[in-house]
Structure 1
Amino acid sequence: MADALLQVDGLRCGYGEAVVLSDVSFTIPEGRSLALLGRNGTGKTTLLDTLVGVTRRHAGTIALNGREISRLPVYERAGAANWQGLGWVPQERNIFKSLTVHENLTAVARPGAWTPKRVYELFPRLAERQRNLGQQLSGGEQQMLAFGRALVLNPKLLLLDEPLEGLAPIIVEELLRAIRRVAREEGLSSIVVEQHPHMVLGVTDDAIVLDRGGIAYRATSEALIADPTPLDTWLGVAQH
């Protein structure tokens, strides 16, 4: 597929000898966003971790922006030299808690459209707290910072692993607005892992449901909003 930004073919991966996902293949075209759905334990995080390079890949290939990255170390998958790679927001957030908000952003920033200034415009809460240490932030603010830190890498593909989990509704709304702006309005290709499909289908273009170690269902997000029956089939929850 000529316009494929991410091409995953026959991926078999897991932790050590334990295989979690088998024969997973999918494509993300340039400028489109994907909701990665599934029950707990179906391999959503494993898939993102494998794209980033922190799990064991038993078979298959991963190509990003025309470059095979399966054998690259983690730091090179984030981008090297003039090559734009992956921006990753893990569940653990992994911000530098002993650095200020501004230091967290400037320490990893790379040339491109996303700068610390633009992150502050996206998340005014961070602008107000840019001199605060990471450890002084609330959970929601830490999530915003982790999101912003991924953006200033100026990646080709943004990976968000359950970015809304455990956050207050007002913070969830702020983050959803940010995801919508980044993915829909600015066209940054993204994968968003989420257990609650009704939260992310409105801000993504396509959706994949994982089950029993593979892709059980795929559709456009719009189609699943119009007819949520498959969500009840595979996830046990209908759209609300």
Structure 2
Amino acid sequence: MAELLKVENLSAGYGEAVVLNGVSFSLNEGETLALLGRNGTGKTTLINTLAGATRQHAGTITLAGAALHKLASHERAAAGIGWVPQERNIFKSLTVHENLTAVQRPGRWNPDRVYEMFPRLAERKTNLGTQLSGGEQQMLAVGRALVVNPRLLLLDEPLEGLAPIIVSELLKAIARITRDEGLSAIIVEQHPQAILAISHRAVVLDRGTVVHSDTAQSLRESPELLDRLLGVAR
């Protein structure tokens, strides 16, 4: 598989504060990366940095051979980054359908395909963002990232605070998007076993640096290591 994303010696943060220090990893076309770590280790900062929402102090980010770190956030979307931030950031004053068509770019993903994947959104396509439940807002945030037709999907804690039935629906959708459709993705999640099960690779951050990198299967099958790194296996 061809390399899609390459991050080398990345240092970034907010203002003068450096949160990430010397982060390096790569991701191939069609692969999913589980980005793990305890709270406050820099996972969200890394996702935000890839999307162009932090201050980068050093290092390079390359997407399909292009220097992503030189681009503004809106240019990164055009270059192939689809971003679902922790806050979801849907347009709450627009309808579900308007949220999707407002950012749509040409490609295989369109509102109809999003509605097929998330029937709840099809039932609520004329509802405003303010009229959606938390789970429906998350589905819309994922759908909105898909209709940009990205090469790389960034998901920051997509299952956080959702009811178990919604978590199950979203996991199935994410597995379809990545495993079946072959869209590359980086997923931050506090429930590692759920994400490791649908990922190819795993990177663990601690204090803003990479402390472990391996296949997702290997980490999933090593509960003692997972417990030592994250404190969540048992």
Query: Smaller-chain TM-score range?
Result: over 0.9
Q: Secondary structure at the match of 2:27?
A: strand
Q: Determine the C-alpha separation between the residues in 1 that align with 2:229 and 2:20.
A: 17
Q: Which residue of 1 aligns with 2:82?
A: 87
Note if 1:23 corresponds to 2:18: no
Question: What are the residue-to-residue correspondences of 1:1-240 with 2, within 5 Å?
Answer: 3-79=2-78, 84-238=79-233
Question: Deviation of residue 135 (structure 1)?
Answer: 0.6
Matching residue's letter, 1:134? G
Matching residue's letter, 1:136? Q
Question: Deviation of residue 231 (structure 1)?
Answer: 1.0
Matching residue's letter, 1:183? T
Describe the superposition over 1:86-137 as per-residue Cα deviations: whole angstroms up to 9, x where unpaired: 0000011010111110110011111101010000011000001001111100
Q: What is the total number of aligned residue pairs between the two structures?
A: 234
CA contact (8 A) 2:34 2:195 kept: yes
CA contact (8 A) 2:83 2:155 kept: yes
Question: Deviation of residue 229 (structure 1)?
Answer: 1.9
Q: Unpaired segments of 5 or more residues in structure 1?
A: none
Matching residue's letter, 2:148? L
Matching residue's letter, 2:125? Q
Q: Unpaired segments of 5 or more residues in structure 2?
A: none
Question: Deviation of residue 145 (structure 1)?
Answer: 0.1
TM-score w.r.t. length of structure 2: 0.98
CA contact (8 A) 2:153 2:185 kept: yes
Q: Determine the C-alpha separation between the residues in 2 that align with 1:229 and 1:200.
A: 18
TM-score w.r.t. length of structure 1: 0.95
Describe the superposition over 1:53-74 as per-residue Cα deviations: whole angstroms up to 9, x where unpaired: 1111100000011100112111
Identity %: 67
Question: Deviation of residue 202 (structure 1)?
Answer: 1.0
Moved over 2 A (4+): none
Question: Deviation of residue 228 (structure 1)?
Answer: 2.1
Describe the superposition over 1:159-217 as per-residue Cα deviations: whole angstroms up to 9, x where unpaired: 00000000000000000001100011111000000112012111111111000220011
Matching residue's letter, 1:112? G
Q: Secondary structure at the match of 1:24?
A: strand
